[in-house]
Structure 1
Amino acid sequence: MSEPFVLERSGDQRWLVHPPHDPYGDGYVYTIATELHELNMTASTVAKIDGLYASPDTTLPGFVERLAADWEGWSGTRTWTSMERELVIDARHDGRGHVSLGVTLRAPGPDWDDTAWSARAVFVLEAGEELTRFAGDLTHFLRA
């Protein structure tokens, strides 16, 4: 089994994404185990994500690649959501060269009424090279 993708800040804040798994063997849906660690908080879930045949506009790699391409900035919040909302990524550009990347994990399975647990951490990335490197590394990891 290969190593997880890790986004880490200050030693106490980490987001881990484990290698994608194709539970049905058809390439349409993948699952990824993912974890958040911050100070004394640890949360983990399994998220369903689009597979090989999805439009790049709906995938997590497509989302982070668009963030990196727009490194000079955008207004408002951009959001990507896994199939059943177990993993939500949101991004805000501060207009001064940094992007706040929010990672929210929720209990696995459908939760249409928002009653399940959730955990959130925010990672601040430099909008140029650091964001580009993050997007490239995560995209490569998920598509490998």
Structure 2
Amino acid sequence: MSEPFVLHTSGGLRWVVHPPQDPYGDGYVYTVATELHDDGMTASTVAKIDGLYANLDCTLAGFMEGLVVEWRGWNGVRTWTSLERELALDARHDGRGHVSLGVTLRAPGLDLDDTAWSARSVFVLEAGEELTRLAADLSYFLRT
């Protein structure tokens, strides 16, 4: 089994993504166990994400690659959400060379009234090489 993908800061903030699993064996939907660790908080969930046959623009890897293409900046917030909202990312560019990447985890399962628990942490990344390396590493990890 391969090692998990980890995004971390020197202050101890960590986002951990475990290797994708194919629960149905058909390549269409994967599950990933994921965790957030921040200042004494630990949250974990299992997210359903698009598999091998999804349009790249809809995938987590595609979302990250899209941020890299626009590394010089964009207006507003860009978002990506897993199939059942257990994992969500939002990205903001400050116009000065940094991207704030918010990672939100939610309780797995159907949440029609939006009352399930959630946890969110924000990573600040350099918009050029650091963001490019993160996107490449995460894309490679999700495709292997």
User: C-alpha separation between the residues in 1 aligned to 2:143 and 2:56?
Assistant: 12
**What amino acid does structure 2 have at the position aligned with 1:84?**
E
1:37 aligns with 2:37: yes
1:50-90 deviation digits (Å, cap 9, x = unpaired): 01111111000000000011100000000000000000000
| 1:88–1:103 CA contact under 8 A, matched in 2 | yes
| Runs of 5+ unmatched residues, structure 1 | none
| 1:85–1:111 CA contact under 8 A, matched in 2 | no
TM-score, structure 2 length as denominator? 0.98
| 1:87–1:106 CA contact under 8 A, matched in 2 | yes
Instruction: Give the aligned partner of residue 85 of structure 1.
Output: 85
Q: Could you say what the CA RMSD is over the residues aligned between the two structures, in angstroms?
A: 0.6
Cα deviation for residue 11 of structure 1 reads 4.1
User: C-alpha separation between the residues in 1 aligned to 2:25 and 2:11?
Assistant: 36
TM-score, structure 1 length as denominator? 0.98
User: C-alpha separation between the residues in 2 aligned to 1:94 and 1:110?
Assistant: 34
Instruction: Give the aligned partner of residue 123 of structure 2.
Output: 123
User: C-alpha separation between the residues in 1 aligned to 2:3 and 2:111?
Assistant: 29
Cα deviation for residue 110 of structure 1 reads 1.8
Cα deviation for residue 112 of structure 1 reads 2.9
Cα deviation for residue 5 of structure 1 reads 0.2
Instruction: Give the aligned partner of residue 112 of structure 1.
Output: 112
- Between the two proteins, the alignment pairs up a number of residues equal to 144
- Give the alignment of 1:1-144 within 5 angstroms: 1-144=1-144
| Runs of 5+ unmatched residues, structure 2 | none
